[in-house]
Structure 1
Amino acid sequence: MPSTKLFKMILDDFNDEEEEEMAIAFICELLTKRRTVRHQGSISGHAYIWHDRIQEKYMRSPNKDDIARLLRGNEVRGFPGMLGSIDCMHWKWKNCPAAWKCMYVRHVHEKTIIFEAIATHDLWIWHAFFGLPESHNDINVLERSFLFTDLIEGHAPPANYSINGHDYAMAY
């Protein structure tokens, strides 16, 4: 029996929209867990290429030389102590799998995927993160960002600078 017919049979038993939404959320959760377990521990061809071929050169955290260059360049531009500017973008996900729809629908009932990135003025993207499920806004994304968490916990590269008479010892 195709899964769409099965879901239709399950959902037809509910009387109101709230119960139906809860059932859809439950089904999505089951499908996601199943998929995660099935693929756990294996690296697909695309993931292998991404990890071994692209990430090491292009999508990596800045090393000491990169940090020094970023701090110098941003200070010249009037932003002392700044490593980069983080931004989030909500992309409409036209072909979102039906089973995942409930996890990626925003408050405006559009399926979107969130892209968080830090790029330099010369377009070096040294941080990118796709895909938080559920309807998150930019603040929720930042709360889950390991970069933001590291900054809050004081794990940022050292950088001595002064803004409006206040001295700082950590890059941002």
Structure 2
Amino acid sequence: MLANGTPADSVDEYVKIGKSTAIESLKKFCRGVVDIFESEYLRSPNETDITRLLCVAEYRGFPGMLGSLDCMHWQWDKCPTAYHGMYTGHVHKPMIILEVVASYDLWIWHAFFGIPGSFNDINVFDQSPLF
């Protein structure tokens, strides 16, 4: 369900569990991932992280930089018909945008997901909690 975006009632045919059990199992899986990885990987940068990132950036010629900011447009295959107009941009297919700040070591320090694909990067930045 998580990987393919399939509805809960579609997995009952091959997993042989009901919709409510599939939803409950997915919630427990997600809670387990957060419980295991939250303290190390799902957190804001602490003072040590910031100092390390600033030192590396300065050494590489980018003083004051913590990471790189980028927006990625993903095709939304399962977009509801009612949202097609809002999420369709220049590619003429529904898209959804992910905004990310990543450091040189590929740690993701900020993620903002769900903006309509019809927006350009400047409009995404205007709505982002980062700025």
Question: If the length of structure 1 is used for normalisation, what is the TM-score?
Answer: 0.53
Q: Does 1:146 align with 2:129?
A: yes
Per-residue Cα deviation, 1:25-80 (whole angstroms, up to 9, x for no partner)? xxxxxxxxxxxxxxxxxxx7165346544444223221111100000010011001
Distance (Å, rounded) in 2 between the aligned partners of 1:66 and 1:91: 30
8 Å Cα contact 2:96-2:117 kept in structure 1: no
Stretches of structure 2 lacking an aligned partner (at least 5 in a row): 1-25
> Aligned to 2:96, what secondary structure does the other structure show?
strand
Distance (Å, rounded) in 1 between the aligned partners of 2:114 and 2:37: 19
Distance (Å, rounded) in 1 between the aligned partners of 2:129 and 2:39: 19
In structure 2, the partner of 1:111 is: 94
Percent of residue pairs identical: 56
Q: Does 1:86 align with 2:69?
A: yes
Alpha-carbon offset, residue 113 of structure 1: 0.8
Distance (Å, rounded) in 1 between the aligned partners of 2:117 and 2:106: 29
Stretches of structure 1 lacking an aligned partner (at least 5 in a row): 1-43, 149-172
Q: Does 1:57 align with 2:40?
A: yes
In structure 1, the partner of 2:78 is: 95
Question: If the length of structure 2 is used for normalisation, what is the TM-score?
Answer: 0.68
Paired residue total: 105
8 Å Cα contact 2:73-2:117 kept in structure 1: no
8 Å Cα contact 2:89-2:118 kept in structure 1: yes
Alpha-carbon offset, residue 134 of structure 1: 6.0
Distance (Å, rounded) in 1 between the aligned partners of 2:75 and 2:124: 17
Aligned CA RMSD, in angstroms, stands at: 2.2
> Aligned to 1:131, what secondary structure does the other structure show?
strand
Give the structure, 1 or 2, with the largest relative contact order (CA under 8 Å, sep 6 or more).
1
Compared CA separation, residues 86 and 50, structure 1 to 2 (3 A): farther
Give the structure with higher Rg (CA). Answer: 1
**Which piece of structure 1 moves more, 105-114 or 73-82?**
105-114
